[in-house]
Amino acid sequence: MPEREITYAEAIREALREEMRKDPSVFLIGEDIGVYGGAFGVTQGLLEEFGAERVIDTPISETAIVGAAIGAALLGMRPVAEIMFFDFMTLCADQIVNQAAKIRFMFGGKAKVSIVFRSPAGSGTGAAGHHSGSLESWFAQIPGLRVVAPATPYDAKGLLKSAIRDDNPVIFMEHKLLYRVKGPVPEEEYTIPLGVGEVKRKGKDLTIVAYSITVRRSLEAAELLAREGIEAEVVDIRTLRPLDEEIILSSVRKTNRALVVYEPPRFGSFGAEIAALIAEKAFDYLDAPVMRLGGLEMPPPYNPNLERRIAPQVEDIVKASWELLQS
């Protein structure tokens, strides 16, 4: 029997549904997640199954959504809060960074803040500078948070289930361009542990380290490179924090060349952390300096031709790979 294929959005919805069925302390809270089904349709049908007590539509109040999730978590609930666009994380940054992330530590290790903050990120939909952000690097820098960025439907489902069961606040970044992408997802129950990356394609000539949308593009680039006889290994870190350092390092030790591909602006983003890690811990294995391929230094522009240019595309990854191989 051929393996079942569903979309990334459907995979996320399945994870939510399964965890809500299993654990009565799981509930959803956010804007337009009920009858509307979420701005990207991810929560469609959940209101009908679980009712308004567990699929809670709120006024436009990001600070109160996150605060409410934190307060409920302190009483043992496991809220999943949807922040409609990743850019809106700035509206509730105090609650996430100063409260959710720090409370357990500041209360002497006593509280459990078990929350998932789901949010659609990334450019490519023509939504311009206020609805296209990729701010995951900010949150990956905060001790107390976990940051997850799945690239496939299979990973999205398995990682979200683990995130909901985790006793810590988890930022769950969903790339908008992946929502409609289909992939194999088994009917049976499974989870993927946070902090474990995956080699998505094996190769020997260079390592491409990526997460979220750039994994997909790197795989396409690797396919094109393979036609030219170049075998690129694509490492999907899947979780930014905690980071699976070993999967990156062991690949680089094998291929001796590393290209880090990420959507946020090149300067100061999480890709720099990966580059630093490789330089620190695999320097002796490198045949060339670590190369970073990040986004351009500008807010996401509206014009589709310009918008496409700001984030690394397949052809950019191919080009960078050749440069790296020749250096």
Partner 1 sequence: MLLQEDKLKMYFTMLLIRRFEERAEELYMAGKIWGTFHLYIGEEAVATGACFALRPEDYITSTHRGHGHCIAKGADVKKMMAELMGKATGYCYGLGGSMHIADLEGGNLGATGIVGSAIPIAVGAALACKLQKNNRVVLCFFGDGAANTGAFHEAVNMAAVFKLPVVFLCENNLYAMSFPVQKAFAIPDIAERAKGYGIPGITVDGMDVLAVYEATKEAVELARSGFGPTLVEARTYRFRGHSKSDKGVYRTKEEVHMWMERCPIKRFRAHLLAEGVPEATLKDLEKKAEDLIEEAVRFAAESPEPDLEKARGMVYA
Residues recognised as catalytic: 62, 131
Q: Would you say 122 and 176 are in contact if contact means Cβ atoms under 8 Å apart?
A: yes
Alpha helix positions (H), 147-258: 153-165, 213-227, 245-255
CB of 56 to partner 1, least distance (A): 8
Q: Whose Cβ is closer to partner 1: residue 91's or residue 199's?
A: 91
**Run of H or E including 292:** strand 291-295
> Residue 259 has which token pair?
């290209």
Query: Which residues bind to partner 1, rule: CB under 8 A?
Result: 27, 53-54, 56, 58-59, 61-64, 66-77, 79, 94-95, 98-99, 103-114, 143-144, 146, 167-168
Query: How many residues would you count in the chain?
Result: 327
CB of 67 to partner 1, least distance (A): 2
Q: Whose Cβ is closer to partner 1: residue 68's or residue 274's?
A: 68
Distance between CA atoms of residues 179 and 177, nearest Å:
6
Q: Whose Cβ is closer to partner 1: residue 128's or residue 196's?
A: 196
CB of 92 to partner 1, least distance (A): 9
Q: CB under 8 Å to 229, separation ≥6 — which residues? A: none
Q: Would you say 288 and 257 are in contact if contact means Cβ atoms under 8 Å apart?
A: yes
Q: What DSSP designation does 300 have?
A: P
Q: Whose Cβ is closer to partner 1: residue 118's or residue 175's?
A: 118
CB of 304 to partner 1, least distance (A): 35
